[in-house]
Structure 1
Amino acid sequence: MGEHGCAGSTTRDTHTAAVRVPAQARAADVGRERERGVAAGDSLAAPAARGEHTHSEPPMPSPRADSARPVVQRASVRGQILDALRTALVAGELAPGEVYSAPVLGERFGVSATPVREAMQQLAIEGAVEVVPNRGFRVVERGTRELAELAEIRTLIEVPVMLRLARTVPAARWAELRPLAEATARAAASGCRATYAESDRAFHRAVLALAGNNQLVRIADDLHRRAQWPLVGGPASRGRADLVADAAEHAALLEALAAQDLPVVQSLVREHFAGA
């Protein structure tokens, strides 16, 4: 997979961008990971023994030949794999309805199946995948109704908060968020959904953070992440024009917030969530 899951995109616009995991590690690293997996009772040599078939899986794009391949640190391997899988999900590289086994994904990332399985279990908790006994994990198939429900919930939570912030936050504070809005515009121009998804969430987190409620930020970010998952039967990614239009609404929202124009703030947020 290329940077952010999109070939040719290497620009990072936020400090929260996911750390990419190389699809192929050095032979020595792979050997050590395999030894750890065997020691933990997770056999890579015979994945079928875990009941996970490794055949007939949809292919995932191979990494670019010139992409950077940092050495995966043992302490952070699970987190890096989780970030990589989330990026692959948003980019459409993990297709809705398809089943993926941890051993096969582990080979593609150059690690043992254990951290992949742990990362997939986290995605199952988040609702992105579901466990398929003796096979692996199936990417959940989502339709437009679920996306509309998420938009409704986000509106119910965030609109009142943003209206309150518009009345209380000085205009200078909103000006400080302009670089994040500009970052979303650059990410949208790249045409890479995964790159845009990261910068989009970073912008919304920064806006909501001004409310001083960490639980609000966490819950809203989780809903936002779910809204970014691809739909079954839909395109693998939104077009560049759609992303650019979505990003432009961020700058307009900041202007409305700074001007304390409450009707415009409410309208922009509702339309932004519905369009996403």
Structure 2
Amino acid sequence: MRQSAQGSAETGTPQAWTAAVPRVPQQPAAADVDRERWGGAGHAGAAAGATRGEHTHSELPIPRPRPVQRSSVRGQILAALRKALVAGELTPGEVYSAPALGERFGVSATPVREAMQQLALEGAVEVVPNRGFRVIERGTRELAELAEVRALIEVPVVLRLARTVPVERWAELRPLAEATVRAASSGCRATYAESDRAFHRGLLSLSGNDQLVKIADDIHRRAQWPLVGTPASRGRTELLADAAEHAALLDALIARDLEVVRGLVGEHFTGAP
């Protein structure tokens, strides 16, 4: 994979994708949050009196619950990093530090580090002590292994569902299939990757097995990461061809043409990005 622009030598962070990601709104300082929660200057005066050893006769008001912001920030950072990973803007083999990425996003290093740790659990990056996180270098063998696992899980499920799911339920998936075509038309691999996984989640959700859907989606996500030494994204024509298979599969499922379904899933599930 190749970056579209050189990263900063000081931060090791590619300029192209970080500039495109909206900065996360700055969170209020802890002191400001405390003043708001405890009644502003009244709390400050009570605290000052307690510090001097004075007895205060008024009780502090019970603070109202406030939404926790850090998980939201971490979620935004995680989504941005995943998109950059799929688009090939995080270079395999390169090390990225949480403070440098945090500066680019306009947040502290903590939510970036937490997001990177989640990516480490997913197998996208590995921890480099005292340096940051290195993007995993993946080869064709790993991609082939993921494709085999996807086929073992998803193909039998779809063939079983083809015999049992009512026609109207398959028709409900048409908007998801059409969304993949629009995403493919954009030529953006990251955009297509999200819509592609959404279609497959909708397909497998008809099994009623939430654990199967989660496991299959995790494997699908891993299969979407670009390989080392290859272009960061597939061409628009290739993406459109892949998206067209979704519509063809739905047509075959609605028609209950099991032979066509078997042929399509045998090819699509093993070759999908």
| TM-score (ref. length: structure 2) | 0.77
Aligned partner of 1:189 among 169, 185, 188: 185
2:89 maps to what in 1? 93
Structure 2 CA distance, aligned partners of 1:263 and 1:132? 50
- 1:55 aligned onto 2:7: no
Moved over 3 A (4+): 67-70, 72-75
Is contact 1:60-1:93 (8 Å) kept? no
Pair 1:71 & 2:25 matched: yes
Unaligned runs of 5+ in 1: 1-5, 7-53
Alignment check: 8 A CA contact 2:154 2:269 kept: no
Contact 1:60 1:94 in 2 (8 A): no
* Whole-Å separation in 2 of the counterparts to 1:152 and 1:116: 33
Cα distance in 1 for partners of 2:269, 2:136 equals 21
How far the C-alpha of 1:71 sits from its partner, in A, is 2.8
Contact residue 70 and residue 111 of structure 2 kept, 8 A = no
| 2:79 pairs with 1:125 | no
For 2:237 and 2:215, locate their aligned partners in 1 and report how far apart those are by CA, in whole Å: 29
Aligned-partner Cα distance in 2 for 1:238–1:76: 31
One-letter amino acid of the counterpart of residue 71, structure 1:
P
- Tell me the distance in 2 between the aligned counterparts of 1:271 and 1:204: 15
User: Whole-Å Cα distance in 2 between the matches of residues 101 and 74 of structure 1?
Assistant: 19
Q: Which amino acid aligns with 2:12?
A: E
Partner Cα distance (1:68, 1:116) in 2: 14
- Matching of residue 270 in structure 1 with residue 225 in structure 2: no
SS across alignment from 2:133: strand
Question: Where does 1:136-175 land on structure 2 (aligned, <5 Å)?
Answer: 136-175=132-171
| Change beyond 3 A, Cα 1:123–1:75 | closer
Cα gap change, 1:250/1:96 in structure 2, threshold over 3 Å: closer, same or farther?
same
SS where residue 63 of structure 1 aligns? Answer: helix
Distance apart, 1:136 and its partner CA: 0.7
Q: Which runs of 5+ in 2 are unaligned?
A: 27-68
For 1:116 and 1:251, the matched residues in 2 are separated by: 38
- Residues 24 and 73 of structure 2 are in contact (CA less than 8 Å); yes or no, is this contact kept in structure 1? no
CA distance in 2 between counterparts of 1:161 and 1:91 reads 30
CA displacement 1:241-273 (0-9 Å, x = unmatched): 110000000001111111222222222122113
- Whole-Å separation in 2 of the counterparts to 1:124 and 1:68: 24
Preserved CA contact (<8 Å) 1:230 1:236: yes
From the CA coordinates, give the structure whose radius of gyration is larger: 2
Residues 128 and 134 in structure 2, CA contact (< 8 A), matched pair in contact too: yes
Once residues 208 and 146 of structure 1 are traced to their aligned partners in structure 2, the CA distance between those partners, rounded to angstroms, is 23
Which residue type is aligned with residue 124 of structure 2? A
Cα-to-partner distance string for 1:76-116 (whole Å, 9 max, x where unaligned) = 11111111111110011111111101010001111000110
> Percent of aligned positions with the same letter in both sequences?
78
Q: Is the 8 A contact 2:84 2:90 kept in 1?
A: yes
Instruction: Tell me if structure 2 keeps the 8 A contact 1:91–1:194.
Output: yes
TM-score norm. by structure 1 comes to: 0.76
Cα distance in 1, alignment partners of residues 82 and 191 from structure 2: 12
The number of aligned residues is: 222
Contact 1:58 1:98 in 2 (8 A): no
